[in-house]
Amino acid sequence: MFQQRAFRVKQISDLTGVSIRTLHHYDEIGLLQPGRMNDAGYRLYSQDDLARLQEILFFRELDFSLAEIRGIIESPGYNRVEALTDQKQLLAAKVTRLKKIIKTIDKTMDNDKRGVDMSNEDLFGGLVDEETQAEYAREAKERWGETDAYKESARKTAKYTRADWERINAEGGDIYSKIADLVKAGVTPEEASVQIQIQKWRDHITANFYNCTIDICQGLGEMYLADVRFKTNIDKVCPGLTEFLSKAIAFYVDNAEA
Amino acid sequence: MFQQRAFRVKQISDLTGVSIRTLHHYDEIGLLQPGRMNDAGYRLYSQDDLARLQEILFFRELDFSLAEIRGIIESPGYNRVEALTDQKQLLAAKVTRLKKIIKTIDKTMDNDKRGVDMSNEDLFGGLVDEETQAEYAREAKERWGETDAYKESARKTAKYTRADWERINAEGGDIYSKIADLVKAGVTPEEASVQIQIQKWRDHITANFYNCTIDICQGLGEMYLADVRFKTNIDKVCPGLTEFLSKAIAFYVDNAEA
DNA sequence: AATAAACCCTAACGTAACGTTAGAGTCAAG
DNA sequence: CTTGACTCTAACGTTACGTTAGGGTTTATT
């Protein structure tokens, strides 16, 4: 018989840079439980456990919470290669963001030297979250490939200023809030009051990003639900909003087709 | 009379992306206290407060703790332009690290596809902290310019594997621990037992990085104390170690010159 | 064989940096 | 003069661990 190589906590710690306490913690919360234990109760990690830890660390680098990470890698539809592709995409976005911050620093130093004041928006270039929008856009690119919708969106959004983003975000948030209010009021996704907001939502996307066809509506409705990042962001407005929104969009699509 | 422009919490929040609660928190802990309050107790932030928040966010992006940030920007020797230069340097290092992680992802996907196993070290490229060393090296570059010492160091360290870094770190840590023990034992920096360790420390640097001349020793001794990142790292071994080490190095240098 | 030194465990409290209610005052617009 | 958007303090909750404390285990070295 052949015995698979097993690592103990210190070895894992040395190899990966995570603390032993962190390994204990990940075991406790069920994020990374070692394949087996020896008689003394020592944790023995397998090669597969190591691979899983690697994935966890990639997600952590992207500021996913441990609960999110666990949710993702344990979901039935989880695909390692796809996840790696996503992670790469998001890391690239982070690099872009950091580079933008570096530029902001350069500008700040320059203007400091010359005694000029910067606009208050420029002072925080790269620090505000507007980039998450762009992140999501890239995400979309990955899922849709180079579709016409994506190209149109990229062309439009490229010219947007921070003020534009603020306005767009505010408008979008406004629509979500209104739907959230309807949720709280106890109406169903099929009701006209909701469907009117879905129409507004679609118009908003068409006006600011790309021509939001019925097919794309359907895709978005599904994606919002399937993708944790969309989901958590939407659920911030009101828990359960994503599910509701998805159902409402599905109904909207069905009726538009009929 | 001319009244300076004042911002309230929501405006600051919209402008910078930090939450209102965060502003409250920064006020509470004294990290960012608004210039003044109105009669109703509303926080009114000035243009200068905004600039300070910008600096805080740069540091935060680099994972400095709020206590550290406060310590740095309130220290008497604090220089805004210098800090910006450092931040830029560190952000660049972070970009490098992220790019390394992206490479690791590429490698992982590639090997996955071909069914090959990666070495366990390579699995975690970019995730382990070895880079802090390189970070500090770059820091040194910035402070010293392109000196011969720096070039030699860069040439040597470029070839190091993770195993080398582990060994070097262990050796360095060992020397620090020994000095820390002497500190706890109550000896003075001038005593022979300490000076022997300083000699070992210098040899360690010469062996692994560059020819550590007396002049460089002196520079290092001062830098350790002056630079928070060196200081906090060294003080991790034992609080007060940096001061002690600095004194011991100063004495070593004096005696070597005589 | 014994005895350190280095390593492992659980349990439980501590901490940093906020998030999240809860309850109440402020202020401009209609 | 009231309503909606904004503000405040106070205080408890949360995440992701760090940090003892107290006690077994394994391995290297007398």
Residue of A92, A128, A129 with shortest CB distance to B102: A92
**Subunit contact B124:A80, Cβ cutoff 8 A:** no
pLDDT at B153 over 60: no
Nearest to A15 among B16, B101, B120 (CB): B120
b/e burial code for range A210-235 (CB count within 10 A of at least 16 → b): bebeeebbbbbbebbbebbbbbeebb
Q: How far is the CA of A40 from the C1' of C2 (A)?
A: 22
Kindly list the residues of chain B whose beta carbon comes within 8 Å of any beta carbon in chain A: 14-17, 47, 50-51, 54, 57-58, 61, 80-81, 84-85, 87-88, 91-92, 94-95, 98-99, 101-102, 105-106, 108-109, 112-113, 117, 120-121, 123-124, 127-129, 166
Threshold 0.80, pTM exceeds: no
Q: Is the pLDDT of residue B2 over 70?
A: no
> Average pLDDT, whole number, for chain B?
78
Q: Do B14 and A61 touch (CB under 8 A)?
A: no
Q: Residue A99: its chain B contacts at CB < 8 A?
A: 95
Identify the pLDDT of residue B152.
46
Compute the distance between CA of residue A80 and CA of residue A236 in angstroms, rounded to an integer: 27
Residue pLDDT, tens place only, B221-241: 877 777 666 777 788 778 888
| Interior angle at CA B129, CA B128 and CA B135, nearest 5 | 140
In terms of average pLDDT, the best of A112-116, B67-71, B138-142, B208-212 is B67-71
Up-side HSE of residue A236: CA atoms within 13 Å toward CB?
Answer: 7
pLDDT of residue A145: 33
What is the signed CA dihedral for B228, B229, B230, B234, rounded to 10 degrees? 90
A230: tokens are 């969309």
Asked if B105 lies within 8 A of A84 by C-beta distance, the reply is: yes
Give the three-class secondary structure for B43: strand
Compare all CA atoms of chain B with the CA of A132 and give the residue at the minimum distance. Answer: B17
pLDDT at B146 over 50: no
The burial class, CB within 10 Å (0-12 / 13-18 / 19+), for A177 is: middle
Alpha helices by DSSP H, listed for B7-79, are 9-16, 20-28, 47-61, 66-74
| Residue B156 in this model has a pLDDT that exceeds 60 | no
Supply the angle between the helices A47-61 and A9-16 in degrees, to the nearest 10: 40
* The pLDDT of residue B149: 46
Pick from B122, B61, B69, B118: nearest CA to B93: B61
Please write the tens of the pLDDT for every residue from B170-209: 677 778 888 988 888 888 988 888 898 898 888 788 776 6
Which residues of B are less than 8 Å from A120 in CB distance?
15, 50
Instruction: Say which residue, A69 or B126, is predicted with more confidence.
Output: A69
By Cβ distance, the residue of B91, B121, B128 closest to A101 is: B91
First-residue to last-residue Cα distance in chain B: 64
From the list A16, A101, A113, the residue facing B127 with the nearest CB is A16
- Is the pLDDT at B216 greater than 90? The verdict is no
- Going by the DSSP 8-state scheme, the letter that residue A36 receives in this structure is E
CB A21 within 8 A of CB A8: no
Task: Please tell me what DSSP assigns to residue B44.
Answer: E
**pLDDT digit string (tens) for A88-103?**
888 888 888 898 999 9
* Domains in chain A, CATH or no CATH each: 9-74 (1.10.1660.10), 157-257 (1.10.490.50)
Residue B136 to residue B133: CA distance in whole angstroms: 5
Q: What is the ipTM of this complex?
A: 0.60
CB A210 within 8 A of CB A156: yes
pLDDT one digit per residue (tens) for chain A, 258 residues: 445 689 999 999 999 999 999 999 999 999 999 988 999 999 999 999 999 999 999 999 988 889 888 888 887 778 888 888 888 888 888 888 898 999 999 989 888 777 777 887 777 877 776 555 445 434 433 333 334 443 344 344 443 444 444 456 667 778 888 898 898 888 899 988 899 999 988 888 877 766 777 877 887 887 777 776 677 778 878 888 988 998 999 888 888 765
> Nucleotide D17: nearest residue by CA–C1'?
A22
- Name residue, tokens 């070290």: B121
**Strand D within 7 A of B9 CB:** yes
- Kindly give the residue spans of alpha helices, DSSP state H, lying in chain A: 9-16, 20-28, 47-61, 66-74, 80-113, 130-144, 148-158, 162-185, 192-208, 214-226, 228-237, 241-257
Nearest to B244 by CA among B192, B176, B174, B196: B176
**How many Å apart are A40 CA and C3 C1'?**
21
Tell me the average pLDDT across B70-77: 82
Angle at B107 between CA B106 and CA B111, to 5 degrees: 120
Give the whole-angstrom CA distance, residue A250 versus residue A258: 13
**Mutate which of B16, B54, B138, B161 to disrupt the A interface (most A C-beta within 10 Å)?**
B54
Tell me the shortest Cα–Cα distance from A84 to chain B, in angstroms.
6
Please give the pLDDT value at position B148: 42
Residue B69, pLDDT > 70, answer yes
Chain A residue with CA closest to B163: the answer is A15
The neighbour count for residue B194, using CB atoms within 10 Å, is 23
CB-based contacts of B38: which residues, under 8 Å, 6+ apart?
Answer: B44
Q: What are phi and psi of A78, to 5 degrees?
A: -65, 135
